[in-house]
């Protein structure tokens, strides 16, 4: 069977998994093995997603599962994204009820690992969250094919989309596709609130010309889209690269500000 959720378009044989390690072929059908399986849950400030211009000064119930459809050697959440982490099943009704009962909470953010892999779960949970007058947020790498993206979008109120880089080579190296990420940003921005983040890594994606090109493209989508430059710290399989200097982030923020109205530096 072919899984058409993301640009890997995995050919999955019976009882085997796709690239993400969560989509599996069972009795000739593709199922989500991580459906409703929660590894992490916390009531976070909305700014932590980061979303700075979507209901600021509120909280959002943040949940994660396991698995990812990229293989970033610098992953900051590799314990759940690159492994089958311990999880507990939470049916959609329970998650929606938890969100409704949480104080000063505006809804649910699917985050921590790649939420695209919880596609089926989000489709069934989002209407329950919306029925309670709350919001649905995704913090994602944007690696989703156009057809499932069109199905998902009416269920999502806000995204933070991680633009890993602005070169196809960088995405290829880490198991992703640049054009897919760009399409997700462009398409989502037409229907809901979008903010974009780039984790800046020394010698990998901190080239001034690259950031200039990325932010010029983003400004063409909309100069009002908030853009976050995040500081890298050594993690996972990239322990030999030092933390990003603050001056690098400040210089890149100045470049980004030439095209975008809302530029922020995080984790400094």
CA–CA separation, 25 vs 125, rounded Å? 23
Maximum Cα–Cα distance for the chain, whole Å? 55
* N- to C-terminal Cα separation, the chain: 45
CA–CA separation, 171 vs 237, rounded Å? 16
User: What class, spelled out in words, does domain 34-266 have in CATH?
Assistant: alpha beta
pLDDT higher than threshold 80 for residue 267: no
How confident is the model over 199-223, as a mean pLDDT?
98
pLDDT higher than threshold 90 for residue 268: no
CA–CA separation, 202 vs 221, rounded Å? 27
pTM of the model: 0.96
CA–CA separation, 183 vs 153, rounded Å? 13
pLDDT higher than threshold 70 for residue 244: yes
Domain map of the chain by residue range? Answer: 34-266
For 33-71, the pLDDT digits (tens) are: 999 999 999 999 999 999 999 999 999 999 999 999 999
CA–CA separation, 15 vs 30, rounded Å? 10
pLDDT higher than threshold 90 for residue 209: yes
For 196-208, the pLDDT digits (tens) are: 999 999 999 999 9
pLDDT of 82 reads: 83
For 131-168, the pLDDT digits (tens) are: 999 999 999 999 999 999 999 999 999 999 999 999 99
CA–CA separation, 159 vs 177, rounded Å? 18
Task: Look up tokens 């459906």; give the residue.
Answer: 35
Nearest alpha-carbon partner for 62 in 92, 32, 87, 39? 39
pLDDT higher than threshold 80 for residue 85: no
């Amino acid at each position: 069977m072919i899984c058409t959720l993301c640009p890997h378009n995995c050919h999955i044989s019976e009882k085997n998994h796709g690239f993400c390690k969560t989509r599996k072929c069972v009795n000739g059908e593709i199922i989500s093995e991580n459906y409703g399986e929660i590894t992490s849950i916390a009531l976070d400030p909305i700014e932590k997603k980061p979303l700075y211009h979507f209901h600021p000064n509120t909280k959002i119930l943040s949940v994660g599962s396991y698995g990812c459809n990229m293989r970033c050697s610098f992953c900051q959440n590799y314990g759940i994204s690159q492994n089958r982490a311990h999880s507990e099943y939470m049916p959609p009704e329970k998650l929606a009820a938890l969100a409704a009962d949480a104080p000063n909470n505006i809804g649910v953010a699917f985050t921590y690992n790649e939420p695209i892999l919880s596609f089926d779960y989000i489709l069934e949970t989002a209407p329950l969250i919306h029925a309670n007058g709350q919001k649905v947020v995704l913090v994602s790498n944007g690696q989703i094919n156009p057809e499932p993206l069109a199905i998902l979008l009416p269920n999502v109120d806000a995204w933070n989309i991680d633009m890993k880089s602005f070169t196809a080579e960088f995405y290829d190296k880490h198991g992703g596709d640049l054009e897919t990420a760009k399409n997700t940003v462009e398409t989502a921005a037409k229907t809901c609130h979008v903010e974009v983040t780039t984790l800046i890594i020394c010698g990998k994606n901190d080239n001034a010309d690259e950031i200039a090109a990325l932010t010029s493209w983003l400004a063409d989508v909309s100069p009002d889209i908030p853009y976050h430059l995040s500081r890298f710290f050594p993690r996972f399989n990239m322990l030999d690269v030092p933390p990003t200097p603050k001056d690098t982030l400040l210089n890149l923020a100045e470049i980004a500000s030439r095209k975008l109205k809302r530029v922020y530096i995080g984790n400094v």
